[in-house]
A and B are shown apart, each in its own frame.
Chain A
């Protein structure tokens, strides 16, 4: 019986963690509940954003991540959770953004943390439930009065060189980008604040032929009806404003919600509503998408969930006829969004780490805790793998395509290696080094996802599944392994210095693990680096160009080779080798994140200042641990090590 406890624990936890992971079923539109609009079906509608087909649900979630770092809207953030603040799902919020901009403008969805930015915009600084604010999240209606001031500050901050910007200036620019996202969404399906859009659209379309006649007559110098022509132009002016934000002086970038409607062109492309209106003025028929969204808007503003549902269903059926593939893709991605596999894996990793920590307090008596920890890690790994595979299927690409997915994959690799170690040694160490890196890398991935869509399209140079599947995967596994070796070394120092639990036996085991893992790391980082060289030779004609990222990978290879030769030559003893493994952490972190911050070379992603502080902190920690290793043995609590 005692043997089964861990498995029961794992199964129960897995079930708990998976609660609420399916796409919620829409309420009956005829029912009496508060919100009767079919948010899930709406979120399933396909559109093109960032160059790819995605469900509106993803567009809403990614926009919210950029605006307020969460995938949902808390409409009453000043309330604590037990006061039950009103929550909106991403899709519900998007319905407001599309159809009822006035209501959307009152929702506190723009997160501002920097006090000077709040001061600039004269926003409340602190939480104050009486004034209905939490001092962090603000509604567009609160920011709008100070829009001109924000624009002036943005202009000034923009002219400052990127690396010289103060945190305040970066916060201003971030808010500006958020505002651009916000205003683009409001221009996606209708001009903002058009209360009778469906009617206006119908009237205008009816007058287009007459307007075109008038325009032709005017060009030919013949008499024409001034009023009719002006009516056409006024509406085109509105369409123009949907495409370009004159207040922000930049083009709007709304999702392309208009399904391909022009039959003549060879390649059918999705379009923006504004563009479709221009085509209508040129004589094209009104696209079904524009009409459907206009009708949904009318029903939404009228609070008529039944009418909304029937328009939505009709539109879906229309799309299914021609765009069955897109519909399937969007539905599948919506399911992926709701599964939140990586988040669930993260929770499981934390649970597993806790179990193993408890085990390490008294390894002789608490074996069941270790087994539970391992079992939970196993479940986490399954969930994590499922997430990776689902993502690969959605994207049609190998697992690593950008920094975000590299974080997810490094965690996965670490988890696999850790479990292998655990299988061989059965002393909790392997479970620890799978759970902790798994947890940390998923946290890092979450923060990387705040900058927008994580499944963005690959630029032409990178658009090759062969090299992504070989070079990138192998080199990332090399990162994983080096981090696992580093984590083992950290465990060595922490247990040895702060506790008496590092027996000579455990120390020897750790030392062997580090060595084995680093052999693996050397192999993978070398092969990965070399494959990168071959890719570069295939695409640019040089095997090696001393590009910053290439150099980073080379440093890992060199450092691991240093470790191996130092061990073979007997130049370093156990502690010296552990110090080298900790150095491997620094080298790998540098090559993974550091080089991207330099802003040079082909792999640069721009200056990431927040990440920079974390990187420095990580390097500092490793250096501190190396210092502890250099302390004389008698100052350690584990004397034997």
Chain B
């Protein structure tokens, strides 16, 4: 039994099967990225032991497939076992041994990276200083209070901060407590993603849309108004197209594309009492949907503030779906919480984006209760987008609640001094992104300026800062903003080591064989007079390759 087990783990057959499966897994995992997004597919296919088919998968997903961890560990055990069994010190095996040692290092290094590395982001505008970076995906719930006498622990600036790990939010923790906090928190609702509007702008957009629809109703309400309209539309290309299509649908003896006086045709239809009603309704319907579509595209208009444009798109979508109608009415917009800014914003849950660049806006509804007591102080709606105006008082102290992207503090501060964003002449191809940053570390008394740009990160204090994105603040004459990717990876050196060792091994092996091969060839050819030039390979020995690894 033990013998068979040992034989299985040391066999070269297993290696070949595992390598073949690895190739297939990488192929499938890459294809899966198209549908599942880079992040999701990575977790499902490469950072897992098994991939199971789920409902809603694309047709090619197999019922079950070994995941990256299974194959990776399989190869690791196979390698180690095989070497334990066959290790022999000899010149012609140095290359193979080195290569495999390097592969082991690479596999272990990748595992370490998976387990230990952490990516976060640091974004700031020119002139701003940051002592922390933020996670892209994880959130934390914090309660902050102005630091009084007890400012020793957990201080963050002039505030005392109690933070609760984001993972507890959706695990349905009954209540979140802290010994020094006079209140406890209960999560009533949590969502991974939502869109946040100001209620005022939604109501305003609603008003605008209603007014426009009323005007439309009036315009196509009576035959006379429509006849008058017919004369004017000819000059407007877009409106004329709608008219032509409606006319075609009404069978007005007119076909799209044919030139001719279509306005007359329209007048004829309008003069016919049997047809004009249907024609007008059809026109109204067409212009209504066009108007809704135009509202939906408001964000593409240049001089529209983005908040208003989003509100217009939202209202148009709700009208289209029939969820909103009639005159603006604040009562019809849901309010999720009783306190704080909940009555100033409208939060609409939406499915979380899975793509690499999707920025989700998580939210939660939190109830604050007195510690141990039954008295509720109210409910708060929290989200990384809503950080101000969420205060209350308990025992004469003011407290603030917020849901924010998880922060990682660093013992030094970075200040963005200047951003540079160059493009090639007359194109939009980026030539250079560069952030000049002031680095201040009170512990080492360092105070120096550094440039961070593409392919030139800042490595400091176990962290590496990479230039990631660049932009400008929205205000006119805005300041440059910069986003740095912050990576902590204690295992970063293993792939370098592994690569060096494997490369060394491979080069050794390759040269060893090449030299041997060429020597033998010239030896084989010289007796026959330097090669007749006709047939080759005659009288040649088998390549010594098979000797590299003993056969099982």
Measuring CB to CB, which residues of chain A are less than 8 angstroms from any residue of chain B?
A: 48-52, 253, 256, 269-270, 272, 363-364, 367, 424-427, 456-457, 459-461, 463-464, 467, 505, 508-509, 512, 515-516, 519-520, 522-523, 526-527, 530-531, 533-535, 537-548, 551-552, 554-555, 558-559, 561-562, 565-571, 587, 590, 595, 598-601
Within 8 A of A (CB), among B508-537: 509-510, 513, 517, 521, 531, 533-537
Whether A546 and B16, one on each chain, are in contact in the complex, defined by CB atoms closer than 8 angstroms, is no
Contact A508 B546 (CB under 8 A): no
Does B503 sit within 8 A of A, measured CB to CB? Answer: yes
Q: Roughly how many angstroms separate A64 CA and B487 CA in the complex, as a whole number? A: 47
In the complex, chain A residues whose CB is within 8 Å of the CB of B20: 562
Are B22 and A551 in contact, with the CB atoms below 8 A? no
Q: Which residues in A have their C-beta under 8 angstroms from that of B113? A: 542-544
B317 interface residue (CB < 8 Å to A): no
Is A519 a contact of B27 with CB atoms below 8 Å? no
Contact A543 B19 (CB under 8 A): no
Q: Which residues of B, 79-93, contact A by the 8 Å Cβ criterion?
A: none
Q: Name the distance in Å between B243's Cβ and chain A's nearest Cβ.
A: 15
For the complex of A and B, 6 pairs with smallest distance between CB atoms: A51-B424, A541-B487, A569-B12, A509-B537, A425-B536, A530-B499
Residue-wise, chain B 24-43 has the 8 Å CB interface mask toward A (1 for contact) of 00110111011000100110
Shortest distance from the beta carbon of B363 to any chain A beta carbon, whole Å: 29
Pick the contact of B431 from A460, A526, A571, A595 — CB < 8 Å?
A: A460
CA distance A424 to B535 in the complex (A): 11
A388→B187 CA distance, assembly (Å): 65
Task: Tell whether A541 pairs with B430 under 8 Å between CB atoms, given A552-B30, A562-B19, A568-B548.
Answer: no
Q: How far is the CA of A520 from the CA of B506 in the complex (A)?
A: 9
Q: Is B133 an interface residue (CB 8 A)?
A: no
Interface status of B433 (Cβ within 8 A of chain A): yes
The answer to the question of B338 belonging to the interface, with a C-beta cut-off of 8 Å to chain A, is no
- CB-CB < 8 A to B119: which residues of A? 541-542
Q: A457-B424, A544-B495, A587-B23 are in contact. List 9 more A-B contacts (CB 8 A).
A: A256-B426, A425-B536, A463-B454, A522-B506, A530-B499, A539-B457, A555-B26, A565-B19, A565-B549
Q: Nearest B residue to A595 by beta-carbon distance? A: B30
Q: Contact between B426 and A459 (Cβ–Cβ < 8 Å)? A: no
Counting CB contacts under 8 A, is B492 at the interface? yes
- Once the chains bind, are B430 and A555 in contact (CB under 8 Å)? no
Partner of A558, one of B26, B33, B429, B533: B26
Q: Is the CB of A551 within 8 A of B30?
A: yes
Report the separation of the CA atoms of residues A367 and B26 in the bound assembly, to the nearest whole angstrom.
46
Instruction: Tell me the complex Cα distance, A561–B531, Å.
Output: 34
Give every chain A residue within 8 A of B16 (Cβ-Cβ). Answer: 562, 565-566, 569, 571
**Closest chain B residue, CB of each to CB of A425:** B536
Give Cα A479–Cα B485 distance, bound, in whole angstroms: 32
Is the Cβ of B27 less than 8 Å from the Cβ of A364? no
Of B492, B506, B521, which is within 8 A of A526 by CB? B506
Closest to A427 in B: B536
Please state if B466 and A568 are interface contacts (CB–CB under 8 Å): no
Q: Is the CB–CB distance between A459 and B33 below 8 Å? A: no
What total count of A-B pairs have CB within 8 Å?
197
Q: Is the CB of B425 within 8 A of A270?
A: yes
Chain B residues with CB below 8 A from A363, complex form: 534-535
A544 surroundings in chain B (CB, below 8 A): 110, 113, 495
A516 to B545, CA, bound (A): 10
**Number of contact residues on B: which range applies?**
35 or more
Chain B residues 451-481 with CB under 8 Å of chain A are 453-455, 457, 464, 466
Whether the pair B457, A538 counts as a contact (CB closer than 8 A) is yes
When the two chains form their complex, are residues A505 and B424 in contact, meaning their CB atoms are under 8 A apart? no
Tell whether B427 is near chain A: CB-to-CB under 8 Å.
yes
Are B485 and A598 interface neighbours, CB within 8 A? no
- What would 27 A/B residue contacts be, using CB atoms closer than 8 Å? A51-B427, A51-B429, A270-B425, A367-B533, A367-B534, A456-B429, A457-B424, A457-B427, A459-B431, A467-B455, A519-B509, A523-B506, A530-B495, A530-B502, A535-B455, A539-B454, A541-B487, A542-B117, A545-B38, A546-B30, A546-B38, A551-B27, A558-B22, A561-B19, A562-B23, A566-B16, A571-B12
**Cα-based distance from A456 to B496 in the complex (angstroms):** 32
> Within the complex, which residue of B27, B110, B507, B545 is in contact with A515, where a contact is CB–CB below 8 Å?
B545
Residues of A within 8 A of B30 (CB): 546, 548, 551-552, 595, 598
Complex: chain B residue closest to A148, CB-CB: B237
Specify which chain A residues have a CB less than 8 angstroms from the CB of B507 in the assembled complex: 523
Q: Does B552 contact A (CB under 8 A)?
A: yes
Do the beta carbons of A523 and B545 come within 8 Å of each other? no
Task: Select one of B19, B429, B485 contacting A459, CB under 8 A.
Answer: B429
In the complex, whether B551 has a CB less than 8 A from a CB of chain A is yes
Counting CB contacts under 8 A, is B130 at the interface? Answer: no
Q: How far is the CB of A325 from chain B (nearest CB, A)?
A: 15
> Is the CB of B15 closer than 8 A to any CB of chain A?
yes
Which residues of B105-151 are within 8 A (CB) of A?
109-110, 113, 117, 119
CB within 8 Å for A270 and B23 given contacts A551-B30, A565-B16, A601-B38: no
B537 touches A425 (CB 8 A): yes
In the complex, A272→B15 CA distance in Å?
Answer: 62
Distance between Cα atoms of A470 and B31 in the complex (Å): 28
Residues of A within 8 A of B453 (CB): 460
A515–B431 CB distance below 8 A: no
Interface presence of B339 (CB below 8 A): no
**Chain A residues with Cβ under 8 A from B489's Cβ?**
541-542
CB-CB under 8 A from A530, the residues of chain B are 495, 499, 502-503
Which of A534, A565, A598 makes the CB contact (< 8 A) with B31? A598
CA A176 to CA B543, docked complex, whole Å: 59
Query: Do the beta carbons of B15 and A554 come within 8 Å of each other?
Result: no
Q: In the complex the two chains form, is A570's CB within 8 Å of B19's CB? A: no
Q: Which residue of A lies closest to B41 (CB)?
A: A546
CB-CB under 8 A for A459 and B503, given A364-B534, A562-B20, A600-B34: no
Complex interface: chain A residues within 8 A of B42 (CB) = 546
